[in-house]
Amino acid sequence: MKPELNNLLHSLKQSIIQGQVDEAGPLARKALASGLEALQVIEKACVPAIEEVGRLWEAGDYFLPELIAGAEAMKAAMTVLQEALKSAGQSLKSAGRVIIGTVEGDIHDIGKNLVASMLRASGFEVIDLGADVKIDKFVDMAERERADIIALSALLTTTMLNQKKVVDLLVSRGLRDKIKVMVGGAPVTEKFAREIGADGYGESAVQAVSVARSLMSGRGGSHG
């Protein structure tokens, strides 16, 4: 690859890592105009950039503002690149379809929003039902949207048990083997997740992405 193309990819990657929302989009456009393929740009600049943002956050070097800015910059670049794919008659394979929300009785949404942003930035299709979401609604929406994963957030000891109710409802409706469940939130632990029969637990928004990926690889397929 020509050095100037490499430099361009490097600049785009840096703009995402540094959360420069206004620059990531134009840089992605410039990369396309210079003859780079959209898929190549995604693989060589965007994906490694968002992974680096996640790594910096997990290491404690980045905090919530930097993480959000990185995810937003990623989104700006991906919007441009996905448009290009679409007009070329191609489309990016979805990493998976996720229904996400905070369970009934709980109006905390910061953590859930963070997980939604990171999942989107990592190529998942995310349907965000918001906070204080009824048990049935998760299951109804997951069935209707043919979701691969239901992601449940709970921030209170009094509401975390609603995560179990979603799992139980999936069982009673005979959908348990079709839809994976992942859980998170301050009081939720790996042990709790196991006890309620969830498929995965993420301690942080970054971990949530790797949990979602591993759940998808376990399914051996995804919606196109």
Partner 1 sequence: MLDIKKLTENQILLLDGAMGTELFRVGLPPGHCPEAWNEEKPEAVASIHRSYFEAGSRAVLTNSFGGNTLKLAGYGLEDRTFELNLKAARLARSVCPEGGYIGGSIGPTGKFLKPVGDLTEGRLVEAFRPQVEGLAAGGVDFLLIETQYDLREALMALRAARETSSLPVFVTMTFSLTRRGYYTMMGVSPEAFVRAMEENEVEAFGANCTLNPADMVGLIKAFRSLSEKPLIAQANAGQPQVRSDGSTFYQLGPDEYADHIPGLIGAGARVIGGCCGTSPEYIKKISEKIVQFSDKIG
User: Which residues of this chain interact with partner 1, rule CB under 8 A?
Assistant: 21, 59-66, 68-69, 104-110, 132, 156-162, 164, 186-187, 189, 191-192, 195
Torsion region of 192: left, alpha or beta (phi above 0 gives left; psi -120 to 50 gives alpha): alpha
Residue whose structure tokens are 């190549």 = 40
In terms of CB distance, is 36 or 100 closer to partner 1? 100
In terms of CB distance, is 23 or 104 closer to partner 1? 104
In terms of CB distance, is 24 or 32 closer to partner 1? 24
Question: 51 — phi, psi (to 5°)?
Answer: -65, -40
What is the smallest separation between the CB atom of 7 and partner 1, expressed in angstroms?
27
What is the smallest separation between the CB atom of 1 and partner 1, expressed in angstroms?
33
Distance CA(163)–CA(160), nearest Å, equals: 6
What is the smallest separation between the CB atom of 156 and partner 1, expressed in angstroms?
8
Distance CA(66)–CA(190), nearest Å, equals: 27
Give the H/E segment covering residue 101: strand 97-102
In terms of CB distance, is 96 or 117 closer to partner 1? 117
What is the smallest separation between the CB atom of 40 and partner 1, expressed in angstroms?
30
Q: Are 82 and 33 in contact (CB under 8 A)?
A: no
